Amino acid sequence: MKFAIAVISSLLALTAPLGVAQTLDDIEAAEAKVYEAWEKTPLTVRKAILVAEAAQGFGMYKKRSTNTFESGEPILIYAEPVGYAWEKKNGDIYNTNLRMDVNIIFPDPNEVYTKKDIMKKEVSSRSRGRELMLNIKLDFDGLPSGDYVAEIILYDETSDERTSFKQPFTILDT
């Protein structure tokens, strides 16, 4: 009897309607909604963390265990911007252009060091990519020991938007 119930259950499972499968059209319609939301999102940074080494790709980073650095040691930051714009050029090519400045805020907050254009990132693709990551390297040899804050200012040269984020760090006595 148990065997018969198992066979009947199996046959019913095979003949029962399966869930509706997604089609490529369904995926493209959902993606169009994501692009619509993206274009309404102001430029911002979804993730910014100190890393032990430069990331090899989007989401492929090794988080640094501490925010302390030896004098002269480079400060590496992994960042994921969102809400940046694409400009269509040359028919089917989309361009994104970002640039960055940095302010180093000293322990005395009235003292700030600014460096312009520390990095530029231009991406050209036949797709409006949403997985853009930035490997930001800060070299400030000669900073005395103390607690600092790096304020990264990110500019989208396509949309003229800007955003910023802050990353505290400490330079150790040597």
Q: For residue 6, is it within any domain?
A: no
Q: For residue 39, is it within any domain?
A: no
Comparing C-alpha atoms, which of 165, 85, 72 is closest to residue 123? 85
Q: The domain that contains 96 carries what CATH number?
A: 2.60.40.10
Q: For residue 148, is it within any domain?
A: yes
Q: For residue 140, is it within any domain?
A: yes
Q: For residue 147, is it within any domain?
A: yes
In sequence order, which residues have a C-beta less than 8 Å from that of residue 26 and are 6 or more positions away? none
Q: How many domains does the chain have?
A: 1
pLDDT band at 153 (very low <50, low <70, confident <90, very high): very high
Residue 78 predicted with pLDDT over 70: yes
* pLDDT tens-digit series, residues 118-143: 999 999 999 999 999 999 999 988 88
Q: For residue 16, is it within any domain?
A: no
Query: What does the block give as tokens for 149?
Result: 């804050």
Q: For residue 4, is it within any domain?
A: no
Is residue 136 within 8 A of residue 79, CB to CB? The reply is yes
Altogether, the residues listed in the chain come to a count of 174
Instruction: Show the domain range for 161.
Output: 44-171
Average pLDDT over the chain, rounded to an integer: 89
End-to-end CA distance of the chain: 81
